[in-house]
Amino acid sequence: MVSTTKNRFVTLFLKNLLAWCASLLVLVPMALIILNAFKSDGETLTMTMDLPKIWTFTNFGVVIEKGKLVRSFFNSFLYAGCATIVVVILCTMAAYVFSRRRTKGFSMLYMYVVLGMVIPVNYVTLTKVMQVLHLTNSALGIILLYTAMQTPFTVFLTYGFVSKVPEELDEAAILDGSTPANLFFKIVLPMLRPAVITAGVLCFLNTWNEFIMPLYFLHSTDKWPMTLAIYNFFGQFETNWNLICADVILTCLPVVLLYVICQRYIIGGQTEGAVKG
């Protein structure tokens, strides 16, 4: 008995040690960014974990002005926000039809869409398609692209939720004289609230973080989202770590806030499907 108690203690100690090491490994770089964002120009010649000698709050103002972040912030918000709304509406509608009508054709169509989760994008020919459609360097173009990229996962995610809404509900509504559109938007969609929130939050997160699409398809600086703006800023101010750190914080702030508020939905959504087996 003595040995098992001792063993349990050792296991617990090792578990805690491991947990703290891993957490510190994640926290240290983050703390480093936060501390250095408040230092003055001279203090960040080397990056250290020392507290700022003088807490400099003006870095954020400088970055916003020099990096033209107001414009980029608005752009990111526009692209991610619009894409999220479009994706959620189109994909829940599609998932609803796929889930309710399980004929061979619709099952195949569902598989076809979900296959997009693994299919890689061919950016070279996508450029061609975008040019033909006159969607290059336009807000509409990037929103549609984001929509296309988020569609497979969102359909997959919401499909599972739709099948949990009882079909008897539909029958009752139809007997009451409801139109198909009314049935979906007034009855089914409100019942899909958790799915809509989960899909929306994840879509916003992914599109806010998107870098490769704007890199290929948005050429004028006034159309750049935050990710492109920070990349460019990094190239220009490579030695001003305090400014770069401030920019990093501003770029990450929306997603970090979203994560803190909607943690449950994000983790639930990203781990969906993994553990039902």
Partner 1 sequence: MNKAKVYPWYFAIGAVLVYTVLNVVPGILGLGYSFTDWSAYSKELHFVGFKNFIDVFSGKGNYLTYILNTLLFTFVTTVAKTGLGLLLALALSKGIKGMNFHRGVMYMPSVLPVLVTGLTFTSILNPKIGFLNTFLRGIGLDFLAQKWLVDSKLAFWSVMAVDIWRGTGYIMTMLIVGILAIPNVYYEAVAVDGASAWQKFRYITLPMLRQTLAVTIVLNVIYGLKVFDMVYALTNGGPGHRTEVMYTAVYKMMSKGLYAAGTTISTLLFVFMLIVGYFMVKILTKDEVVE
- Containing 269, the helix (H) or strand (E) segment is helix 241-270
Here's the x/- map for partner 1, 34-63, by CB under 8 A: it reads as: -----------xxxxx--------------
Nearest-Å Rg of the Cα atoms of the chain is 24
Here's the x/- map for partner 1, 119-138, by CB under 8 A: it reads as: xxxxxxxxxxxx--x-----
Q: What's the min distance (Å) between Cβ of 211 and partner 1? A: 4
Binding residues for partner 1, rule CB under 8 A, total 104
Residue 9 interacting with partner 1 (CB under 8 A): no
Measured CA to CA in angstroms, residue 48 lies from 36, 51, 114, 249, 252 at distances of 8, 8, 46, 17, 21
Applying CB under 8 A, among 145, 189, 192, 218 the residue interacting with partner 1 is: 145
Applying CB under 8 A, among 64, 78, 139, 144 the residue interacting with partner 1 is: 144
Residue 231 interacting with partner 1 (CB under 8 A): yes
Residue recorded with tokens 């598989």: 111
Here's the x/- map for partner 1, 205-224, by CB under 8 A: it reads as: x--xx-xx--xx--------
Residue 240 interacting with partner 1 (CB under 8 A): no
Distance, CA of 105 to CA of 84 (rounded, Å):
28
Residue 241 interacting with partner 1 (CB under 8 A): yes
Cα dihedral value 190, 196, 198, 204, nearest 10 = -150
Measured CA to CA in angstroms, residue 28 lies from 20, 24, 52 at distances of 12, 6, 16
Here's the x/- map for partner 1, 92-121, by CB under 8 A: it reads as: -xx-xxx-xx----x--x-xxxxxxxxxxx
In the chain, what is the straight-line distance between the N-terminal and C-terminal CA atoms, in Å? 37
Stretch that binds partner 1, among 58-66, 67-75, 192-200, 260-268 (CB under 8 A): 260-268
For 85, other C-beta atoms within 10 Å of its C-beta total 15
Distance, CA of 214 to CA of 220 (rounded, Å):
10
Q: Which 163-192 positions form the footprint of partner 1 (CB under 8 A)?
A: 163, 170-171, 174, 180, 183-184
